[in-house]
Amino acid sequence: MTDQLSPRIRPRRLRATPTMRRLVSETRLHPAELVLPMFVREGAHAPVPITSMPGVVQHSLDSFRRALADAAEAGIGGVMLFGVPEHKDAIGSGATDPDGILNVATRAAVQEVGDALVVQTDLCLDEFTDHGHCGVLDSGGTVDNDATLLRYRDMALAQAESGSQLLGLSGMMDGQVAAVREILDAEHFTDTAILAYSAKFASAFYGPFREAVQSSLAGDRLSYQIDPGNRREGLRESVLDTIEGADIVMVKPAMSYLDVLARTAAESYIPVWAYQVSGEYSMIEAAAANGWIDRRRAISESVVSIRRAGADAVLTYWAVELASWLREERNA
């Protein structure tokens, strides 16, 4: 019997000093792989705070331009734009109107920062429909997949014409990637890329986003978004979107779906992104505001874990702040 145990293998050696920890770090964040989702509100004269997402606003066109300049200055990879229209109708006319808020905002963004950032747009009808669904409805009130594809094609053209460089197809209609790719190519927008929200789950974590875009949705999206328990189905959607011509696939939400993300990342031969959604943002902000967690560490850890699981880039509402911390750390 000895009075001391002496393990031969000591993983702690590699954790002993800051320099050693830095050297063996497996996952590093870089501003270039962060994308900032932004909301632009039609008719707003000043930014309007989103109560359920402290720190995030619905921009006026002026505040939007300033925020874009900050985003470019921070060196992030891109911005994902959402429009909040003043008027909604059954078919989401505002989405295809060249003077609709999202298309106006897109032109402003391209003009302002089009060389510094990849300007991306949400391609979905829910912000523009009075019933709040991601597509148009049939006479029985259910979302009509194929009629919606026609609307998405028009929306894709309106966005491409406005200068969007990457269309974020988030509506979860069958065949949407193929339908949009075909019309883009036919109209010579062959260089406009498609980000397919492939594994998009029917999640409670989109809750705060519904306030952000003033969604009028009364029911749910269970007939088009994926059941949270279904990993295979997430993989299937990514494969289908890849075959249909997507340039990038995405898993959404992020933190509760890291297994889906890891499997998709392991099997995909095109880039795989993840969207850290509004509810993920708000939970951390709320806990931090209560003093229950260390805000900065929790934010960094959450995004690192999404990258570690395999995301090549991350959509996060903290993109600009995180980028400023990364710069600070690099200069330290």
* Active-site residue identified among 221, 252, 263, 307: 252
Q: Are 308 and 26 in contact (CB under 8 A)?
A: yes
State the nearest-atom distance from the C-beta of 252 to ligand PBG, in Å: 7
Asked whether position 277 contacts ligand PBG by CB under 6 A, the answer is yes
Residue with tokens 């898993």: 251
State the nearest-atom distance from the C-beta of 53 to ligand PBG, in Å: 8
* Active-site residue identified among 200, 221, 263, 307: 200
On the 0-12 / 13-18 / 19+ scale of CB atoms within 10 A, 328 is: exposed
Residue with tokens 């060196």: 75
State the nearest-atom distance from the C-beta of 113 to ligand PBG, in Å: 21
Q: Are 195 and 224 in contact (CB under 8 A)?
A: no
Asked whether position 39 contacts ligand PBG by CB under 6 A, the answer is no
Say whether 252 is catalytic: yes
Binding-residue total with ligand PBG (CB under 6 A): 9
> Of 332, 227, 231, 324, which Cα lies nearest the Cα of 29?
324
> Applying CB under 6 A, which part among 118-126, 226-234, 255-263, 301-309 lies near ligand PBG?
118-126
**For residues 210-249, which are near ligand PBG according to CB under 6 A?**
221
Say whether 200 is catalytic: yes
Q: Which of 170, 238, 282, 316 binds ligand PBG (CB under 6 A)?
A: 170
**Cβ nearer to ligand PBG, comparing 150 with 283:** 283
Among all residues, which ones are annotated catalytic?
A: 200, 252
Q: Which chain residues interact with ligand PBG by CB under 6 A?
A: 122, 124, 126, 170, 206, 209, 221, 277-278
